[in-house]
Structure 1
Amino acid sequence: MKKIVKYLAVLLGLIVIYVVFINYQKFVLISGFSAKSVASGVFVAGRTQESIEQTDTNFSPITLAKNNVDLKNKSVSSNVFGFKNRTAIYREGLGTVVVNDEFNINAPYLIPTRNLTPTNLPFPYGDLPQKDTVFSNINYQKLKTVVENYFNLNNAQNTTRSLLIIYKNQIIAEQYADGFDKDTKILGWSMAKSLVSAVYGVMEQQGKISRNDFAPIEAWKNDERSKITINNLLQMNSGLEWEEDYTKISDVTKMLYLDTDMTKSQINKPLVGKPNETWNYSSGTANLLSGILRDKFKNHQEYLDFWYTNLVDKIGMHSMLVETDLAGNYVASSYAWATTRDWAKFGLLYLNNGNWNGEQIFSKNWVKYTTTPTNSSQGVYGAQFWLNSACHLPDAPNDLFFADGYQGQRVFIIPSKELVVVRMGINASNLNELLKSRPVKPNEKKEVVEFELNNIASNNFLKNILSFFE
């Protein structure tokens, strides 16, 4: 009997060793994701470890990670069953980053110069309360009911964190979940891609770069990749190989949680299609664009400063923090934080064709370029923005375009309605219904914009939260 128990124990031990061996790299990624998420949530957004673990990291397999928060040293260490501990640290001005064994915590580092001086103007152009305007074509009571119903029904599973609607530069609806308010920074995930596109627009406006230039990548000069343009990269249409799969070990997960320099991941990939003929969504491309920008400046400090002094702080997005990788590059694929109101300002900049209170931040032509469908994207993608030109959101206006992030982070811009709608959360829920419009009735005026509660679907999700009259 003792021999049988001994053999079973040995067998069990071998099984454990085998399971650990085949999942070791997965453990590395799981602990990396968890450490980064908890660290940014605590030290950037000012939330509690408990709230983050109950929502942001509360899904399989990330729940396998155990997190230890060090408030004194502003770091988070995570591991899976005690294996492969990963640590994320917070650096003032740069956000959090998962460190490696070579990282020197005592090494000096540069931080971006910020201009956080309050502007003595009403929202959105300043820091004072907005000058309330009553629009006669809006039924405010119905709008309030719509927002509350949509928010509460979707929030039954804690999916919606904030909802903000701006009409003609005026906030007409705003609501937050418990634990969130107008001052809470929320991660935009891939909305950072739209941000790097805007920086390119500013660079082109200032004559510092042209989207038609060939991508200045030394490793590509002697092969077919030399034909790839900055335009191809902005439109995700380079033809380069890339696997964007967050459910397994893939190009994107290795880049985000293993790479020291995230701008190089896409550089090393071969062509699998032809430039301008092969659309493929790639976070590696967004970070490559960040790296190309860095090389356009004389030094690292100028690169760090430019994003803020010429765009972010220029339009009063003072809450925004764009996090960097270990090499000091802005992670343009994934890591930009801001309040809901500041994300709305970003949308307003595009709604107003690049003009911010009389100053042209980037050209109207850049907005047109941004919203022009990328060849081979079937009408769903422009220059680091998603489009509705092919009506894949069938009930929303086809001139809608938007910044899009993981778990339903959205900044919707609808020029024909003079609207910006920001929705932040932890699950993409009913976004088509959120923007649903209906045909004009015979006796209605074209300029009327009315918000009304139409129907509650059988699954208890609110339908037709916004109804726009053409």
Structure 2
Amino acid sequence: MAKICVKGQIIGRVQAYLRIEKAIQEAIFLKLRYISSTHLGRLPMRSKSLLLSLLILSFPVATSAQQTENYDYWQPQRAMVQRGQQAVFMCNGLFTGGRSLEQVFDQELAFLRDPIGTADGGDYSVDRVRRAVEVGVPGAVPVMRAVFREGIGCVVLPPDQTLDDIDQLPELTLPLPAGDPAQIAWPNGDLVTDKQLPSNIDETALLAASDWAFDRDTPEQDTLSLLVVYKGEIIHERYSAGIEMTTRTRTWSTAKSIASALIGMLVDDGRMSLDEPLGFDWYPENRSPEADPRNNITLRHVLNMSSGLETIDNSGMEYATGSGLSYWAGASSVAGAR
């Protein structure tokens, strides 16, 4: 009988301590915003004292320094992405646009916060035979590489590929259009005849807008060329230093308009459908994949940017995850879309 009483006392104390632990967890989770007097009222006085002592020890006093999350856990990925950016910008400037290293560092790399090296050298290498650029040295952050492929432009290699893998990458060889572009009228060719500016166009305002486009004081908006088209005619044309009509550059987001036009042509040919689901294996997986609302997203939704998906690039993560890894670090854009 005595043993039963002792056992009962032990069980009672364990239960009391469990109640204390639960109360502490609730207090920590709610940051002391709410602790019901009912919870405390159920505990013995000694348990209340122990609880209050533990709570005092669990939370810093007002005069103590509060912990802040200043450490950037994504820094290695950000550094990898920046190396990839620099590699593809340098590759594009040198081998797509045929520009000099000085021009590349002065313009293409102007908006990078801390570009690696200078036009005189640094921790990068340029392979002019294979038309490739490597940025960085081996270490915690991988060396990032970009290579030029005919008909495509510069491609960023994933970290586990080297320049020995170049021949595995696709190229696109298309025959040149018939005729001399210089003798064919724009937009099918390059011939533009000089004409008087239409009477309803304010020339002063047009030139002021052109100056604004080229003279903005920000490295992230460096205008290289400008065409103003009015009723199917070029009425203004201008290029920055080192750029001319035949200089090739990255398309950037104008590729969205080009892709939309090409998709529209395929839809007209019956080879694509705007209103059929995309058919992706979505990630993260839904507990009931067959009931996943993302299965209803169509090509029309994507083209209209109305899919309803929350981009993972928000909250300062543009250059650490998601499209940042696809654009600049060689990650699969298909996997990124999932």
Write the letter of the residue equivalent to 2:192. Answer: Q
> What is the match of residue 266 of structure 1?
337
Show CA shifts across 1:176-223 (max 9, x none).
111111111222312212221111100111111221112133558724
- 1:222 is paired with a residue whose SS is helix
Q: How many Å apart are 1:101 and its aligned residue?
A: 2.2
Gaps of 5+ in 2: 1-70, 118-122
Q: How many Å apart are 1:248 and its aligned residue?
A: 4.0
> What is the match of residue 154 of structure 2?
96
Task: Report which structure shows greater RCO (CA 8 Å, sep ≥6).
Answer: 1
Larger displacement relative to structure 2 (251-260 or 134-143): 134-143
Q: How many Å apart are 1:60 and its aligned residue?
A: 4.6
For the Cα contact (< 8 Å) 1:27–1:79, is it kept in 2? no
Gaps of 5+ in 1: 1-18, 268-470
Percent identity (aligned): 22
1:146 paired residue among 181, 203, 208: 208
2:188 paired residue among 123, 126, 151: 126
For the Cα contact (< 8 Å) 1:69–1:77, is it kept in 2? yes
> What is the match of residue 222 of structure 1?
290
Distance 2:233 2:324 in 1: 39
After TM superposition, list the pairs within 5 Å mapping 1:97-116 onto structure 2: 97-99=155-157, 100-102=159-161, 104-105=164-165, 107-116=167-176
Question: Measured at CA, do residues 50 and 247 of structure 1 come closer, stay the same or move farther in structure 2, by a change above 3 Å?
Answer: farther
1:250 paired residue among 302, 314, 321: 321
- 2:98 is paired with a residue whose SS is coil
Distance 1:140 1:41 in 2: 35
Write the letter of the residue equivalent to 1:255. Answer: S
For the Cα contact (< 8 Å) 2:116–2:135, is it kept in 1? no
Show CA shifts across 1:102-134 (max 9, x none).
455264554334232244664324325224443
Write the letter of the residue equivalent to 1:171. Answer: I
Q: How many Å apart are 1:38 and its aligned residue?
A: 0.7
> What is the match of residue 131 of structure 2?
74
For the Cα contact (< 8 Å) 1:77–1:88, is it kept in 2? yes
Question: Measured at CA, do residues 260 and 23 of structure 1 come closer, stay the same or move farther in structure 2, by a change above 3 Å?
Answer: closer
Distance 1:185 1:92 in 2: 12
> What is the match of residue 85 of structure 1?
143
Question: Measured at CA, do residues 21 and 167 of structure 1 come closer, stay the same or move farther in structure 2, by a change above 3 Å?
Answer: closer
- 2:334 is paired with a residue whose SS is coil
For the Cα contact (< 8 Å) 1:133–1:170, is it kept in 2? no
Q: How many Å apart are 1:254 and its aligned residue?
A: 1.9
After TM superposition, list the pairs within 5 Å mapping 1:23-42 onto structure 2: 23-42=75-94
Larger displacement relative to structure 2 (146-155 or 95-104): 146-155
Write the letter of the residue equivalent to 1:249. Answer: A
- Bigger-Rg structure (1/2): 2
**TM-score relative to the length of structure 2:** 0.63
More helix by share: 2
Distance 1:210 1:20 in 2: 43
**TM-score relative to the length of structure 1:** 0.47
Larger displacement relative to structure 2 (236-245 or 75-84): 75-84
Question: Measured at CA, do residues 118 and 178 of structure 1 come closer, stay the same or move farther in structure 2, by a change above 3 Å?
Answer: farther
For the Cα contact (< 8 Å) 1:49–1:69, is it kept in 2? no
Show CA shifts across 1:255-308 (max 9, x none).
2233442122112xxxxxxxxxxxxxxxxxxxxxxxxxxxxxxxxxxxxxxxxx
Question: Measured at CA, do residues 58 and 136 of structure 1 come closer, stay the same or move farther in structure 2, by a change above 3 Å?
Answer: closer
Q: How many Å apart are 1:154 and its aligned residue?
A: 3.3
> What is the match of residue 237 of structure 1?
306
Q: How many Å apart are 1:149 and its aligned residue?
A: 4.0
Larger displacement relative to structure 2 (202-211 or 185-194): 185-194
Question: Measured at CA, do residues 122 and 106 of structure 1 come closer, stay the same or move farther in structure 2, by a change above 3 Å?
Answer: closer
For the Cα contact (< 8 Å) 2:312–2:321, is it kept in 1? yes
Larger displacement relative to structure 2 (23-32 or 59-68): 59-68
> What is the match of residue 206 of structure 1?
269
Q: How many Å apart are 1:42 and its aligned residue?
A: 0.9
> What is the match of residue 170 of structure 1?
233
2:223 paired residue among 148, 160, 171: 160
RMSD: 3.3
Larger displacement relative to structure 2 (43-52 or 120-129): 120-129
More strand by share: 1
Write the letter of the residue equivalent to 1:207. Answer: G
For the Cα contact (< 8 Å) 2:323–2:333, is it kept in 1? no
Q: How many Å apart are 1:247 and its aligned residue?
A: 4.9
For the Cα contact (< 8 Å) 2:148–2:154, is it kept in 1? yes
Distance 1:22 1:235 in 2: 31
> What is the match of residue 327 of structure 1?
none
Aligned residues: 249
Distance 1:178 1:196 in 2: 30
> What is the match of residue 40 of structure 2?
none
Q: How many Å apart are 1:139 and its aligned residue?
A: 5.9
